[in-house]
Amino acid sequence: MGSHYLSTVSLIVTALSLGILVAAVAGNFNRDFDVTWGDGRAKILNNGGLLTLSLDKASGSGFQSKNEYLFGQIDMQIKLVAGNSAGTVTAYYLSSQGATHDEIDFEFLGNLSGDPYILHTNVFSQGKGNREQQFYLWFDPTADFHTYSILWNPQRIIFSVDGTPIREFKNLESRGVSFPKNQPMRIYSSLWNADDWATRGGLVKTDWSHAPFTASYRNFNANACVVSSGSNSCSTARTATSANNNNNNKAWLSQELDSTSLERMRWVQKKYMIYNYCADAKRFPQGLPTECTI
């Protein structure tokens, strides 16, 4: 009896500590991502701990997640192209496929040395985007890695930078605004030349004498529901399909902004937002999109 009891206790203790380990294991680029284009310009280094994308005159490069996710708290640390990055765009986004796809975008528009990057965000639902918000950052995103996060649950999408929320897109389906919630999405990233529009609206061109341009990625973490062959890891309790898919803590599935986070978001929007589609009445002569008026 006694030893039985003890082994049960140690089993539980083992299970608990495993659970904690599972939650703490960071992603690995070899395990979690495929390089999809760039002919050797994308590299996975340090046994999967680091990924670099590069861009030269001939081509950019990109990668995508092996998994498809339907909701998640997804973090990535990115260090952007340093120096004269004018004309370059580093895109980091979630997307499903097809004409009525959903998409959640971060895009980083490069600039001349010392001039600010623009962080461009957008949300597509059922193929419809046109929901741009743009920000300057409160730090130099090329000097070090910073964490860019997407919280996507059935009620809301929250974009965060180093834990500070910068944008929230709420589920307003009850008011007739479609919301991404049925189509699983992959994570994509790419570094490419967009000097026809990216920097000062296309006035500043890419200076190829500075190529190759490089952006780096590390510490990917997805606390997310993985969809594979029609089954969702979040609906089958305690069957973690990958080490970084921690099904034992799904707090993020109903997470919302508390008053402190809301205040911080308002501060960022007040000080650093440089474009908001919801404030662009000229662009919508028929009236602002519904989500802007609620």
Ligand X SMILES: *[C@@H]1O[C@H](CO)[C@@H](O)[C@H](O)[C@H]1NC(C)=O
266 binds ligand X (CB under 6 A): no
- 291 catalytic residue (yes or no): no
> DSSP code of 268?
H
244 binds ligand X (CB under 6 A): no
* Rounded-to-integer distance, Cα 253 and Cα 281, Å: 34
First CA to last CA distance, the chain = 63
- 132 catalytic residue (yes or no): no
271 binds ligand X (CB under 6 A): no
48 binds ligand X (CB under 6 A): no
Question: What is the closest distance, in whole angstroms, from the C-beta atom of residue 236 to ligand X in the complex?
Answer: 44
Q: Report the residue number, 62 or 141, with the smaller CB distance to ligand X.
A: 141
H or E element that contains 22? helix 2-24
Q: Which residues pair with 187 in a beta bridge?
A: 94
Secondary structure percentages of the chain, helix, strand, coil, to 5: 20, 35, 40
Which of 65, 73, 141 lies closest to 107 in space, CA to CA?
Answer: 141
74 binds ligand X (CB under 6 A): no
216 binds ligand X (CB under 6 A): no
91 binds ligand X (CB under 6 A): no
The region of 44-52, 195-203, 227-235, 262-270 touching ligand X under the rule CB under 6 A is 195-203
109 binds ligand X (CB under 6 A): yes
Omega cis (within 30) before 212: yes
111 binds ligand X (CB under 6 A): yes
Question: What is the closest distance, in whole angstroms, from the C-beta atom of residue 53 to ligand X in the complex?
Answer: 18
Q: Which of 68, 107, 263, 291 is catalytic?
A: 107
199 binds ligand X (CB under 6 A): yes
The region of 90-98, 109-117, 256-264, 275-283 touching ligand X under the rule CB under 6 A is 109-117
User: Rule CB under 6 A: which of 112-151 touch ligand X?
Assistant: 115-116, 118
* Rounded-to-integer distance, Cα 95 and Cα 174, Å: 23
The strand ranges marked E within the chain are 33-37, 43-45, 50-55, 61-65, 68-79, 88-95, 103-109, 118-124, 133-135, 146-153, 156-161, 164-170, 186-193, 213-228, 231-232, 273-276
Catalytic residue positions? 103, 107
Q: Which residues bind ligand X (CB under 6 A)?
A: 109, 111, 115-116, 118, 198-200
